[in-house]
Amino acid sequence: MKSRAPLLAVTLFVSDLDRSAAFFAALGFHCEPCPEDWGRAVEVVVGGIDAPLIELFTANDTCPISRCQLVFQVSDVVPVATALTANRVGWDCRGSNSLETRDPDGNRVFVHGLEPSSHQVR
């Protein structure tokens, strides 16, 4: 049985749905289309959680681009840094086990590793 997070989801209104989905995929999340009755949208999900972590919708006049800061915890930050670099997403080292980057709309995103990595983030 899957567990549910107490927060159902964070909704982000983004300038480019495909670019934002690719960014979250580079962070290691699985991105899948939302149910068709929602319109064109993407769910960013984490394995073992029976709910999306983030819902991505295209911004419009009624719902402008979201502004927020996101902080994620991963088992090892090095694969995230490698994937961001491979996808030409810039990032800065924030210690041996943390990094900071920005999503396509400029929101700050921090990624922290659970345990100190045997490889330093560079």
Query: What was the pLDDT predicted at 101?
Result: 97
Q: Specify the pTM.
A: 0.82
Structural domain includes residue 85? yes
Residues sharing a CB contact under 8 Å with residue 17, sequence separation 6 or more, in sequence order: 40, 41, 42, 56, 57, 58
Long-range contacts of 59-62 (CB under 8 A, 24+ apart): 59/13, 59/14, 59/15, 60/13
Query: What was the pLDDT predicted at 9?
Result: 80
In whole angstroms, give the CA distance from residue 39 to residue 42.
Answer: 10
Structural domain includes residue 77? yes
Question: Can you read off the two tokens belonging to residue 77?
Answer: 């930050």
Structural domain includes residue 27? yes
Which residue segment(s) compose the domain that 62 sits in? Answer: 10-113
Structural domain includes residue 70? yes
Structural domain includes residue 121? no
The amino acid present at 103, given as its one-letter code, is: D
Query: What was the pLDDT predicted at 116?
Result: 62
Q: How many domains does the chain have?
A: 1
Query: What was the pLDDT predicted at 49?
Result: 66
Query: Mean pLDDT by 10-residue block, N- to C-terminus, for the chain (122 residues)?
Result: 71 96 90 80 78 88 96 89 92 92 96 72 58
Q: For the chain, where are the alpha helices, taking DSSP H only?
A: 17-26, 77-86
CATH number at residue 69: 3.10.180.10
Structural domain includes residue 53? yes
Structural domain includes residue 40? yes
Structural domain includes residue 16? yes
Query: What was the pLDDT predicted at 34?
Result: 80
